Amino acid sequence: MLAFNVIEDRAVARLGSLEALQGLMPAVRSESELIALPDRYFLSVMTRRIFQAGMRHSVINDRWPVFEEWFWSFEPEKLMLLSEEQLEKAMQNPALIRHWGKLRTIPTNAARMLDISRENDGFGRFLASWPDADLFGLWAYLKKHFERMGGHSGARFLRLAGRDTFQLTDDVITALIASDAIDDKPTRKADRERVNAAFMEWQAQSGRPLAHISRILSLTVN
């Protein structure tokens, strides 16, 4: 498997400078920063990710202030009580994205997030305490406990929220194969373990967050 400095050098060569590379790194929050964030922040980010799926992100982002106002700043205690009538009223607002299936996730996910928050003294603390060495487990947990958090959505929600995570986009998978970390798309448990071990090793070598390692890998692919 390639050493991470070789991978980083390839990304720098493609971009022209280390400064250009640094400018493309995603923001990552510390454990203390995650813990300090209110549950409404995470519910807002999760819901925004759900609406982004299959749509232009800029469209969703531009309309998100309207969502924040309409849905009471995404306070889970309030939104878990949303009625069908209130959701139907939201469907009539042209300033929102009127997607019934996605709107219906809001009260369900609010209730589940509130339960997890109460068990862990905050949803941010729950995310912060999950070990980096088991991110596949965290993705699976999000998929099991929340609506529309399957596929890539769990990892992308974490990235939006600032919780450190790698992502397995097509470019990252191609780079992992080119770096001799894996032989093929990681569909089996053994392959996922190899992916995880590679990221842990590269993190130890570089001291970089997993999100940065993931992004740098993607930047080595044409």
Whole-angstrom distance, CA of residue 74 vs CA of residue 46? 10
Task: List, in order, residues 6 or more apart from 14 with CB less than 8 Å away.
Answer: 219, 220
Residue 222: predicted pLDDT? 83
Ranges of each domain in the chain: 4-28+167-218, 33-142
pTM, rounded to two decimals = 0.96
Residue 3: predicted pLDDT? 98
The residue-averaged pLDDT of 116-126 equals 98
CA distance readout (Å), 168 to 109, 172, 209: 24, 6, 15
The residue-averaged pLDDT of 66-90 equals 97
| Portion of the chain with pLDDT greater than 90, in percent | 100
Q: Is 75 left (phi over 0), alpha (psi -120 to 50) or beta?
A: beta
Whole-angstrom distance, CA of residue 97 vs CA of residue 82? 17
pLDDT at 46 over 90: yes
CA distance readout (Å), 182 to 68, 138, 168: 42, 21, 12
Q: Which fold has domain 33-142?
A: Endonuclease III; domain 1 (1.10.340)
